[in-house]
């Protein structure tokens, strides 16, 4: 079974990716920033900010899935039950959707990955793609303990239209209930309930946390203390990126 999944990924994902990346080689190295962290650690907030600062698209697989759910696509149908239960969507579904997005024109210079990879197989397939894209990779791990995650998620809101994240106390919108970016309505996510969040944290510790060691071994990992204020988190991240040539 495992062999079948790997074969599927190679044929359906990697081969088309290599074809895409071989035509990109002349374009120079891509700048790729990967944000790791538990749900509610602040990845979305930082990804939106960094996307604006560096002019790189934010690729958030959670947002892409929610868009697919709303549009009732085949990918949305495949992801629905996993998302409702707080479980991870199977790798082949994630990777198919991710590489469709990465093949778009706005990703040519680079991108910010928010919420992906989330498993070792996702990271390995992505790594192959990044190697062929001559990407310069930085991985930031936002470190926040579970107790603080539960507190933070209680006040979390996001824009129904564009997915921009807000928090009632830490980063409220300028106008109550309205997105600063696109004027869309702000809602609480269905999977931000205490029961589902427990499952999402379990999935994070079991399936996503091992990625820290994976990227540490590659020399890409930088740990960020995410327990401090938003401004202090920003300062840490900006300091790290200021020493990374492609972000200057
Ligand atoms: P997020 O908005 O990043 O918290 O993602 C919401 C949900 O989408 C997760 O709880 C998963 O069910 C699914 N999801 C998003 N990204 C991934 C991924 N890289 N791998 C597996 N499932 C994902």
The string of DSSP codes covering the chain is -HHHHHHHHIIIIIHHHHHHHHTTGGG-PEEEEEEEE-TTSSHHHHHHHHHHHHT--EEEHHHHHHHHHHTT-HHHHHHHHHHHHTPPPPHHHHHHHHHHHHTSGGGSSEEEEES---SHHHHHHHHHHHHHTTEEEEEEEEE--HHHHHHHHHTEEEETTT--EEETTTB--SBTTB-TTT-PBEE--GGGSHHHHHHHHHHIIIIITHHHHHHHHTT-EEEEETTS-HHHHHHHHHHHHHTSGGG-
Residue 14 inside a domain? The answer is no
Give 169 Cα–ligand 1 centroid separation in angstroms: 24
Residue 205 inside a domain? The answer is yes
Q: Which atom of ligand 1 is nearest to the CA of 86?
A: 10
Mutate to test the pocket of ligand 1, among 37, 61, 113 (most ligand atoms within 8 A of CB): 61
3 state SS for 162-177:
CCCEEECCCECCCECC
Q: Which atom of ligand 1 is nearest to the CA of 83?
A: 12
Length of the chain: 248
Q: Looking at residues 89-116, what average pLDDT do you find?
A: 97
The structural domain count of the chain equals 1
- Give me the pLDDT at residue 240, please: 94
Task: Compute the distance between CA of residue 224 and CA of residue 221 in angstroms, rounded to an integer.
Answer: 10
Question: Which of 77, 189, 202, 239 is flagged as catalytic?
Answer: 189
Prediction pTM value: 0.86
Task: Compute the distance between CA of residue 156 and CA of residue 173 in angstroms, rounded to an integer.
Answer: 11
* Neighbouring C-beta atoms of residue 113, cutoff 10 Å: 24
Model confidence pLDDT, tens digit, residues 71-85: 999 999 999 999 999
Q: Determine whether 181 is an active site residue.
A: no
Residue 155 inside a domain? The answer is no
Give 151 Cα–ligand 1 centroid separation in angstroms: 20
Q: Determine whether 118 is an active site residue.
A: yes
Q: Determine whether 152 is an active site residue.
A: no
Mutate to test the pocket of ligand 1, among 13, 43, 62 (most ligand atoms within 8 A of CB): 62
Give 25 Cα–ligand 1 centroid separation in angstroms: 30
Question: Which of 43, 66, 78, 152 is flagged as catalytic?
Answer: 43
Residues at CB less than 6 angstroms from ligand 1: 39, 61-62, 65, 82-83, 86-89, 94, 115-116, 118, 122, 191, 200
- Give me the pLDDT at residue 25, please: 41
Number of Cα atoms under 13 Å in the Cβ half of residue 58 = 22
Residue 149 inside a domain? The answer is no
Question: Which CATH number fits the domain that encloses residue 119?
Answer: 3.40.50.300
Q: Which atom of ligand 1 is nearest to the CA of 117?
A: 19
Model confidence pLDDT, tens digit, residues 169-216: 888 999 999 999 999 999 998 899 888 999 999 999 999 999 999 999
Give 63 Cα–ligand 1 centroid separation in angstroms: 8
Q: Which domain holds residue 209?
A: 30-143+194-238
Task: Compute the distance between CA of residue 42 and CA of residue 136 in angstroms, rounded to an integer.
Answer: 23
Residue 115 inside a domain? The answer is yes
- Give me the pLDDT at residue 162, please: 85
Residue 150 inside a domain? The answer is no
Question: Which of 66, 78, 118, 152 is flagged as catalytic?
Answer: 118
Residue 13 inside a domain? The answer is no
Residue 122 inside a domain? The answer is yes
Give 62 Cα–ligand 1 centroid separation in angstroms: 5
Model confidence pLDDT, tens digit, residues 128-168: 999 998 899 999 999 999 999 998 898 899 898 887 888 88
Model confidence pLDDT, tens digit, residues 22-54: 444 445 678 999 999 999 999 998 999 999 999
């Amino acid at each position: 079974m495992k062999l079948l999944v790997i074969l599927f990924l190679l044929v359906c994902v990697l081969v088309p990716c290599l074809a895409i990346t071989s035509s990109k080689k002349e374009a120079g190295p891509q700048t790729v920033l990967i944000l790791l962290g538990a749900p509610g650690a602040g990845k979305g907030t930082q990804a939106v900010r960094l996307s604006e600062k560096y002019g790189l698209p934010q690729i958030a697989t959670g947002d892409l899935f929610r868009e697919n759910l709303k549009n009732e696509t085949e990918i949305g149908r495949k992801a629905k039950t996993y998302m409702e239960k707080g479980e991870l969507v199977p790798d082949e579904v994630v990777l198919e959707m991710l590489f469709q997005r990465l093949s778009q024109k706005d990703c040519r210079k680079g991108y910010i990955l928010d919420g992906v990879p989330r498993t070792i197989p996702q990271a390995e397939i992505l790594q192959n793609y990044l190697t062929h894209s001559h990407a310069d990779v930085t991985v930031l791990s936002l470190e926040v303990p579970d107790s603080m995650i539960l507190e933070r998620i209680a006040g979390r809101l996001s824009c129904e239209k564009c997915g921009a994240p807000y928090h009632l106390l830490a980063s409220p919108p300028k106008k109550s209930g309205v997105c600063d970016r696109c004027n869309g309505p702000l809602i609480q996510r269905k999977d931000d309930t205490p029961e589902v969040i427990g499952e999402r944290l379990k999935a994070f510790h079991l399936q996503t946390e091992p990625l820290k060691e994976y990227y540490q071994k590659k020399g890409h990992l930088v740990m960020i203390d995410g327990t401090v204020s938003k401004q202090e988190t920003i300062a840490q991240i900006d300091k790290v990126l200021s020493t990374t040539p492609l972000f200057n």
